[in-house]
Structures are given as C-alpha cells and as structure tokens.
Structure 1
Amino acid sequence: MKKIFLTIFMMAFVFMMKAQDFNKYDKGNFIKGKDSISYRILFPENFNPAQKYPIVFFLHGSGERGNDNESQLVHGGKLFLKDDIRKNFPAIVVFPQCPANDYWANVNIAPNGQGKRSFSFVEGGKPTKAMHALQGMVKDFLKKPFVNKAQVYVGGLSMGGMGTYELLRRQRKTFAAAIAICGGDNTNNIDKYKTVPLWIFHGGKDDVVDPAFSIAISERLKTVGDEVKFTLYPLSNHNSWDSAFAEPQLLPWLFSHKR
C-alpha cells in the first residue's frame, strides 16, 4: 500500500509541477468579428515592451483540439520553457488552439478501408474557420510594437504541420522560416511558399500521415525553393516530434533567419 501511495503521490507531484510550468504561458483570446481563437502565450523573461522580440507561432495536432486553452501545450510547450532556450533565444511564443470540430488545414479526410485515414489536400480553396481566425490573430500580433516583424516564425506537428504549410502560402510574406513535423500538403501549393526556409521532419514508419507527403514536398522544394532541410527518422512512427524537439540545431537554425 505504501508503494502504491508513493506512486500516486509522485504522479500527482509531477502533474502539478508540469501544470505550474505551463502557468508561465498566459491565457489569451483573439476576437474580431466572426473570428475567435484562444491561445497561450509565453513572454521572454524580463520582458521589456520597449524592445522588439522574435515571435513563434506553434500549431498543435488534431488530438489537442478543444476549448480548454491548455491541451495545445502538451507537445512543444516544455521545449520553450527550458532555461537555456529562454536565455539564448528570448522570444514570444504563441500556442493557439483549434476548436474540436475544426481543422487548421483545408484537407479532405476519409477512411481508407484499413482502419486508417487518407488525406487529400486542397489546392487553393478558402481557409477553414480556424485558419481564418488564426490568420487574423497573426496579423493582430504583428501590429504590436514589441514584435520584430523580421523574425516571425511558424511551426507545427501533424495537423499543425499541415496548417504550417497552409499558413505559409496564405501569408507568404510574413514568415522568416518554418518547421513542419509529420505534416502534408498538395504539392501544387509549394510555389506559394518556396522562398520561405523550411525544416521538414517525418517518421519513416508513420502510419497516420504518410511520410510520402513530406518527401514529395522536400524533393520539390529542392528544385524550386530557396532553402529546405529534410530529416527522416527511419524507425519513428507518427511521433517524430520528440526527435525533432531534441535536435540541438532546431531553434538555432530557426532563429538564424530574418526577412
């Protein structure tokens, strides 16, 4: 019984510590007209509103959708809380949350008959409600006097990787660089973001989002784009984000780019 109690206590303690860490992310809401989106925002330590800071928008996957304004921090939230990251890369970090019944990207999803899903990405098309609100939120942040417009970045995983490509093509002159993890897009859209430096990640054994999407995008960008990096983790399934977050050059590479 003592061991069980100790285990439960330790689990509760760890959960509490994580919750306390995430409390460093302030809660916010962007509301304009019919657009509404919740987000969590992390300001640099010793934030000075008279200075200008880089800003990073990070898009979560489909499993973190909802209205709790918390779940979106599960993957990636701890990365930007690391002491060395906060010290070496003082930046504003924003995690918006997509509603449960919406999607970042304009993609048709259907069962493939094998217990999995197939993705058909739209060429062009109107943005989803969530993407439209996200665009409005990004534009609103760029009006803030403490945001460095030369250092605006976006990244995302899974559904958020798909949303990253879509946001890049819809606001192609906004971002200095981007990170897309296990995402996908219609390759006909690539010309619209070919000038944005991209680092693409995918797991070679991903059975949720086919790595062929990332491979096709990276190969096309190698011929028409300005800069693309592609990292394939041969033994990883869908969760390639933990490996991507562990890349020592991930954030140095991202923040090295300016418009």
Structure 2
Amino acid sequence: MNKIFLTICILFSALFLNAQDLKKYDRGSFIKGKDSIYYRVLFPENFNPAEKYPIVFFLHGSGERGNDNEKQLAHGGKLFLKADVRKNFPAIVVFPQCPENDFWANINITNDEKGKRKISFVEGGKPTKIMHAVQGMVKDFLKKPFVNKEQVYIGGLSMGGMGTYELLRRQRKTFAAAFAICGGDNTNNIKKYQTIPLWIFQGAKDDIVDPAFSMAIAERLKTVGDEVKFTLYPNANHNSWDSAFAEPELLPWLFSHNKN
C-alpha cells in the first residue's frame, strides 16, 4: 500500500509540475476590428526588452481547438520549456488557439461512400476567419521592438501543419524557415513558398491525414524549392509530432536560418 501511495504522489507531483511549467506561458490576445484571437506566449529567461529575439509561432491540431487558451499547449508546449532549449535558443514562442468551429487552413472536408473522411485543399482563396486573425496577430508582434524580424519562424502539426503552409503562402516574405508535421496543401500553392526553408515530418502509418499529402509537397519542393527536408517515420501513425519534437536537429536547424 505504501508503494502504491508513493507512486500516486509522484504522479500527482509530476502533473502539478507540468501544469506549473506551462503557466510560464503568459496569456495574451489580439483584438482588432473583426479579428480576435487568444494566445499563450513564452518569453526568454531574463528577458530584456532592449534586446531583439527570434520569434516562433506554433499552430496546434484540431483536437486542441477551443476557447480556454490552454489546450493548444498540449503538444509542443513542453519542448520550448526544456532547460537546454531555453538556454541555447532564447526566443519568444507564441501558441495561438483556434476556436472550436473554425480551421487554420482553407480546406474542404467530405465523406466518401464508406464514411471515410476526405480532405481537399483550396488553391488560392480567401483566408478563414481565424487565419485572418492570425495574420493580424503576427504583424502585430513584428511591430514590437524586441522582435528580430530576420528570425521569424512558423510550425504546426496536423491541422496546424496545414495552417503552416497556408500562412507561409499568405505571408511569404515574413518567415525565415518553417516546419510542418503531418499536414497538407494544394500542390499548386507551393510556388508561393518554395523559397522558404522547410522541414516536413510525416508518419507513414497515419490514418488521419493521408501521408500522400506531405510526400507530394516534399517531392514537388525537391524539384522547385530552395531548401526542403523530409522525414518519414515508417512506424508512426498520426502522432508523428512526438518523433519530430525529439529530433535533436530540429531547433538548431530552425534557428540557423535568417531571412535574406
């Protein structure tokens, strides 16, 4: 009984510490005209507003949508809290949250005869309501004197991977590099972001987002793009973000890029 009690105490302590760590992300919002979006932001340790810092925007998946301004930190939030990451890559990290009834990217979702979900991506088109707000939020952050405009990065997973491609093509002159995990896009949109260094991650056994989407973008970019990396995890299903976040070169690669 004592061992069981001790195990329970350790588990509760770990959960409490994780919750406490995530509280290091300050709550914020961008509200302007018809645009409104809530986000969490992590500032570097010993933040000095007189200095300039890189900034990373991260777009979550559909399961983290809502209005609690908290769920979006579920995947990726802890990565940027690691002591070595905070020490070696002092940066501002922003996690915006998409409302339950919206979507980062402009896509169409239908069901086939067997009820299986089918996703198709819009070529061009207007941004979704929340993507329009994201664009405004990004531009607002870039006005701040402590943001290094030469080191602006975007990344995301699943729905957020789709949103990453969407934001890249809508603000192609903004970002120095990007990464997309189990996302997708209409390959006709690639020409709008082919000059931006991009690392694509995908699980080969993904049964939520077809791996063919990531593969098609990677193959096209290898032909026309300036710099593309593609990592396929043979045994990973949809949660390939666990493997991507564990890549020791992900953040060194990302922060090594400056906008020309």
TM-score in same-fold range (> 0.5)? yes
SS of the equivalent of 1:86 reads helix
Whole-angstrom distance in 2 between the partners of 1:195 and 1:20 = 40
How far apart are residue 12 of structure 1 and its match? Answer: 2.4
Give the AA of the match of 2:126: K
Q: Which structure 2 residue ranges, 5 or more long, are not aligned?
A: none
Whole-angstrom distance in 1 between the partners of 2:72 and 2:139 = 21
Whole-angstrom distance in 1 between the partners of 2:240 and 2:70 = 22
Deviations 1:69-126 (A, max 9, x none): 0100000000000000000000000000000110000001122344542110000011
Give the AA of the match of 1:142: L
* TM-score, normalised relative to structure 2: 0.97
Correspondence for 1:120: 120
Deviations 1:4-49 (A, max 9, x none): 5444433322221111000110000110011000000000000000
Whole-angstrom distance in 1 between the partners of 2:113 and 2:26 = 43
Say what the alpha-carbon RMSD is for the aligned residues.
1.2
SS of the equivalent of 1:15 reads helix
Correspondence for 2:45: 45
Give the AA of the match of 2:98: C
SS of the equivalent of 2:167 reads helix
Asked if the contact 1:116/1:208 (under 8 Å) is kept, the reply is no
Deviations 1:188-240 (A, max 9, x none): 00000001000000000001000100000010001111000000001100010
Tell whether 2:95 aligns with 1:133: no
Whole-angstrom distance in 1 between the partners of 2:127 and 2:258 = 27
The 5 Å alignment of 1:226-241 reads 226-241=226-241
Whole-angstrom distance in 2 between the partners of 1:169 and 1:16 = 40
Correspondence for 2:19: 19
SS of the equivalent of 1:84 reads helix
Correspondence for 2:224: 224
The 5 Å alignment of 1:152-231 reads 152-231=152-231
Whole-angstrom distance in 2 between the partners of 1:113 and 1:148 = 50
Greater shift, 84-93 or 108-117, is seen at 108-117
Correspondence for 2:97: 97
SS of the equivalent of 2:209 reads coil
Give the AA of the match of 1:191: K
Q: Which structure 1 residue ranges, 5 or more long, are not aligned?
A: none
Correspondence for 2:257: 257
Correspondence for 2:67: 67
Give the AA of the match of 2:221: L
Give the AA of the match of 1:43: F
Give the AA of the match of 1:196: I
Whole-angstrom distance in 1 between the partners of 2:83 and 2:176 = 24
How far apart are residue 3 of structure 1 and its match? Answer: 5.5
Identical amino acids, percent of aligned pairs? 81
Whole-angstrom distance in 1 between the partners of 2:182 and 2:168 = 16
Asked if the contact 1:58/1:96 (under 8 Å) is kept, the reply is yes
SS of the equivalent of 1:199 reads strand
The 5 Å alignment of 1:140-159 reads 140-159=140-159
Correspondence for 2:248: 248
* TM-score, normalised relative to structure 1: 0.97
